[in-house]
Chain A
């Protein structure tokens, strides 16, 4: 799950999330992404590098431009969330059930 944790950590940054949200609407080149964001183009490139490292986006060359898109395997982020969600829920299930059984034994 290292990759999934990376994905969640990558999206904890609000600017990076904004970059990712823009990509969620369709593939974009770095320059297009930088327009309308209150950060410099090099900063956007850096955020993209982190998103790519986390497996959330992919890129490919289009002439001289580099175009980024959301990686469909970024579903991994939902999966990561569910992974933790079920850990948490089953722990709660076990704790409540066993607490009830302990209480019965004591009464």
Chain B
């Protein structure tokens, strides 16, 4: 007997001092600008950009300066400037797996002319569970990510 335990979605939000459409555009069209360089799958190659093709079914991928690409997922729903749903297709080993779909929904809620609440939900995490052994690999990368988390703490402190 095996029962799957579905983990709760990861839900986050942040408020930004920008209009809704601007926040949406910055999030999707300029991802390479804000996606942390240390969160890369390019295995040591310098990153040129992170691209979300702006249409239903569009690819979501990372591109290195040498032109090589690394798929991350695809666009499942495209409703600018309010909402986008991306398929995060990186498995627990941080490799692209076309058969794996976890959903990342980002909603942009206007709070005023120049203020937006960005709500993020990463769900269907139980789909990682079909490959329970890969949990191991994910945990191995914990140490690799720790440096990035420390840097995040620095940024957060500067902003506070």
Residues of A participating in the B interface, judged by any CB pair closer than 8 Å: 8, 11-12, 17, 20-21, 24-25, 70, 72-79, 81-98, 100-101
Tell me if B42 counts as interface (CB < 8 A to partner A): no
Interface size, chain B (Cβ < 8 Å): 47
The chain B residue sitting closest to A88, CB to CB, is B152
B133 / chain A contacts, CB cutoff of 8 Å? 24-25
A24/B120 in contact, CB under 8 A: no
A73 / chain B contacts, CB cutoff of 8 Å? 5, 7
Given A72-B129, A85-B39, A86-B10, does the pair A95, B159 have CB atoms closer than 8 Å? yes
Across the A-B interface, give the 8 residue pairs with the lowest CB-CB distance, nearest first. A88-B152, A96-B34, A90-B14, A24-B136, A93-B34, A86-B12, A79-B7, A97-B26
The chain A residue sitting closest to B12, CB to CB, is A86
User: Can you show 13 pairs from A to B with CB atoms below 8 A apart?
Assistant: A8-B142, A70-B132, A72-B3, A75-B7, A77-B138, A78-B125, A79-B10, A83-B12, A86-B12, A88-B39, A90-B13, A96-B34, A100-B26
Interchain nearest-CB distance for B135 vs A (Å): 6
Encode contact with A along B136-160: 1 for CB under 8 Å, 0 otherwise.
Answer: 1011101101001100100110010
Residue in B33, B122, B152 whose beta carbon sits within 8 Å of that of A91 in the complex: B152
- In angstroms, Cα B140 to Cα A98, docked, is 34
Interchain nearest-CB distance for B32 vs A (Å): 10
Interchain nearest-CB distance for A18 vs B (Å): 10
- In angstroms, Cα B92 to Cα A77, docked, is 10
B128/A78 in contact, CB under 8 A: yes
- In angstroms, Cα B137 to Cα A24, docked, is 10
B148 / chain A contacts, CB cutoff of 8 Å? 88
The chain B residue sitting closest to A22, CB to CB, is B136
- In angstroms, Cα B133 to Cα A11, docked, is 15
Tell me if B70 counts as interface (CB < 8 A to partner A): no
Residue in B128, B143, B149 whose beta carbon sits within 8 Å of that of A12 in the complex: B143
Tell me if B18 counts as interface (CB < 8 A to partner A): yes
8 further A-B pairs in the complex, CB-CB below 8 A; given A11-B142, A97-B34: A20-B139, A21-B136, A70-B135, A78-B128, A90-B13, A92-B155, A93-B27, A98-B17
